[in-house]
C-alpha cells in the first residue's frame, strides 16, 4: 500500500511549526507544499497509482481536477487507470473563470454522459473540489467519486460533496479565522509559502 504522507515527507513537502495563510484565508501551523512534490515524477506517479487503486472497482472514464496542481494528478491517475483497465481513460481539468471553476477547451463535451472521478491535491474546506464537481455536473458528467491526496479537515466528508469521498491520507490541521488566530500572537506569518504575503498586504 502506498504511503502518501511518507512520499510527501521524503520530498520535503510537509512543513510544520510555522504560521501559514491558506487560499481560503484561514491560518494554520502545518503546510503541505504540494509544489515540492510535482518535480519528482516517480513520486507523482505513485500518487496517481494510489488514486487509481483506491477506485479500481469503479468504471471511471474521465478523471478531472482543478488547475493547476490537479492537472498533474488527474493525468497520472488517468494513466494508471488506463494501465489497470486496459482502456483509455481521459484526463481533463477545470480552470478559474468568473470566480468559479469551468470546463473549457472542449472538455465540457468530453465529460457529458461519462463516469467521472474528481481528484484534488489537498482539502481544507473542500471549496475547490466542490467547484470541480459542480462544473462536471453542469456539463452532464456523472461524478461517481471524489478523492484527495491529503484531507486536512475531518469535517470534510462525503456529505460535503454529495458524492463518495475518499482521501488517500488525512492529517488534522487546526484552522483559525484571521480575526481569532492564536498563532498571530507570537509567530510571524510565512510570506514565502502560501498566501501570507497577500494577507499582510491587504491589512496595510
Q: What is the pLDDT of residue 154?
A: 87
Give the position of cell 498586504.
201
Q: What is the pLDDT of residue 184?
A: 93
Asked whether residue 77 is assigned to any structural domain, the reply reads: yes
pTM of this prediction?
0.87
Q: Give the range of the structural domain holding residue 98, as residue numbers without chain letter.
A: 49-172
Asked whether residue 179 is assigned to any structural domain, the reply reads: yes
Please classify residue 99 by burial: count the beta carbons closer than 10 Å to its beta carbon, then call 0-12 exposed, 13-18 middle and 19+ buried: exposed
Least confident of 44-48, 131-135, 197-201: 197-201
Q: What is the pLDDT of residue 22?
A: 85
Q: What is the pLDDT of residues 151-193, one digit of tens each?
A: 988 899 999 999 999 999 999 888 899 999 999 999 999 999 8
- Secondary structure percentages of the chain, helix, strand, coil, to 5: 35, 25, 40
The DSSP result for 45-80, as a single string, is HHHHHHHHHHTTTS---EEEEETTHHHHHHHHHHHH
Q: What is the pLDDT of residue 98?
A: 79
Distant-in-sequence, close-in-space partners of 163: CB < 8 Å, separation ≥ 6: 118, 133, 143, 144, 145, 146
The grid coordinates of residue 24 equal 481560503
Q: Are residues 91 and 151 in the same domain?
A: yes
Q: What is the pLDDT of residues 124-152, one digit of tens each?
A: 888 889 999 999 999 999 999 999 999 98
Report, as an integer, the average pLDDT of 44-63.
97
Asked whether residue 153 is assigned to any structural domain, the reply reads: yes
Q: What is the pLDDT of residues 84-109, one digit of tens each?
A: 999 999 999 999 887 788 999 999 99
Number of structural domains the chain divides into: 2
Q: Are residues 92 and 154 in the same domain?
A: yes
In the chain, alpha helices (H) = 4-10, 41-54, 69-85, 107-111, 127-138, 158-161, 196-202
Amino acid at each position: 500500500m502506498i504511503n502518501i504522507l511518507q512520499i510527501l515527507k521524503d520530498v520535503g513537502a510537509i512543513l510544520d511549526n510555522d504560521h501559514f495563510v491558506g487560499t481560503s484565508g484561514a491560518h494554520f501551523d502545518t503546510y503541505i507544499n504540494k509544489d515540492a512534490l510535482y518535480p519528482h515524477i516517480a513520486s507523482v506517479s505513485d500518487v496517481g497509482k494510489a488514486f487509481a487503486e483506491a477506485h479500481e472497482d469503479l468504471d471511471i472514464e474521465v478523471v478531472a481536477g482543478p488547475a493547476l496542481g490537479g492537472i498533474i494528478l488527474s493525468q497520472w491517475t488517468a494513466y494508471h487507470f488506463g494501465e489497470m483497465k486496459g482502456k483509455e481513460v481521459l484526463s481533463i481539468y477545470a480552470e478559474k473563470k468568473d470566480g468559479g471553476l469551468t470546463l473549457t477547451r472542449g472538455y465540457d463535451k468530453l465529460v457529458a454522459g461519462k463516469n467521472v472521478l474528481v481528484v484534488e491535491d489537498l482539502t481544507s474546506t473542500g471549496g475547490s473540489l466542490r467547484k470541480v464537481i459542480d462544473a462536471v455536473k453542469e456539463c452532464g458528467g456523472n461524478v461517481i467519486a471524489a478523492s484527495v491526496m491529503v484531507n486536512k479537515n475531518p469535517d470534510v466528508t462525503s456529505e460535503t460533496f454529495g458524492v463518495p469521498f475518499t482521501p488517500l491520507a488525512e492529517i488534522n490541521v487546526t484552522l483559525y479565522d484571521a480575526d481569532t488566530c492564536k498563532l498571530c500572537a507570537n509567530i510571524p506569518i510565512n510570506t514565502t509559502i502560501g498566501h501570507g504575503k497577500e494577507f499582510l498586504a491587504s491589512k496595510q
